[in-house]
Amino acid sequence: MIRHWLREGTPHELVTALVATPLFAGFLLLLWLLMNEFSFGHLLLGSALAVVISRVTQPFWPERSRIKYPGRLLLYLGRLLMDILKSNLIVARRILFHSRQLQPGFFTYPLTLTDDFAVTMLASTISLTPGTVSAHYDREGRTLLIHCLHLEDEAALIRDIHSRYELPLQEIFDD
């Protein structure tokens, strides 16, 4: 394959073929440079690693997700950070003072998102926020199984997750 482009490939083709997922490769390189002191040697080593790792892990990316509004993604992450803080306080209080009165339970959450990466984001968000951990993703049934530390009102919780996290994600990924 490499011989093929050396003969007739345009430079752009060469780059896209070497770096299958350019954004991911760039991210890896940046990470490498941030973790080490900047030098020409590290630039070379980092570039080589970025190319190799992004090629090797390419099959793990089932489809390209398009982030349509990166600005809104930042906004979402900011809100998520606040929610993580809040959820920690809530869970801490429950563990310390009400650990015997908790009513844990499972519930299934019907997904409207279809994009794999967006679903991953939603599942991670659920795991990081108030008393919920995502336990299983049913691809055919399009549901997430969620365990809740203190399950009171299932319908309200589902509504909450939908409006607070799923709708913004839907907008960000234009899903």
Partner 1 sequence: MTPSSMPFLLELFISLLLVAGALFALIGSIGLARLQDFFMRLHGPTKASTLGLGCLLIGSLLYFSFQKGTVSVHEAIVTVFLFATAPVSAHMMAKAALFRAVGKGGPSRNYPEN
Q: Which residues in this chain contact partner 1 in the complex, by CB under 8 A?
A: 31, 34-35, 84-85, 87-88, 91-92, 95-96, 99, 102-107, 123-128, 131, 133-136, 145, 147, 149, 151
Q: Which is nearer to partner 1, 18 or 91 (CB)?
A: 91
Nearest CB to partner 1, comparing residues 8 and 152: 152
| Residue listed under structure tokens 């009165």 | 101
Nearer to partner 1, 143 or 170 (CB): 143
Q: How far is the CB of 4 from partner 1 (least distance, A)?
A: 37
Smaller CB distance to partner 1: residue 96 or 155?
Answer: 96
DSSP calls for 100-166: TT---EEEEEE-----HHHHHHHHHHHHHSTTEEEEEEETTTTEEEEEESS-S-HHHHHHHHIIIII
Q: Minimum Å distance from CB 154 to partner 1?
A: 9
* Shortest Å, Cβ 112 to partner 1: 20
Torsion angle of the four alpha carbons 87, 92, 93, 98, in this order, in degrees rounded to the nearest 10 = 110
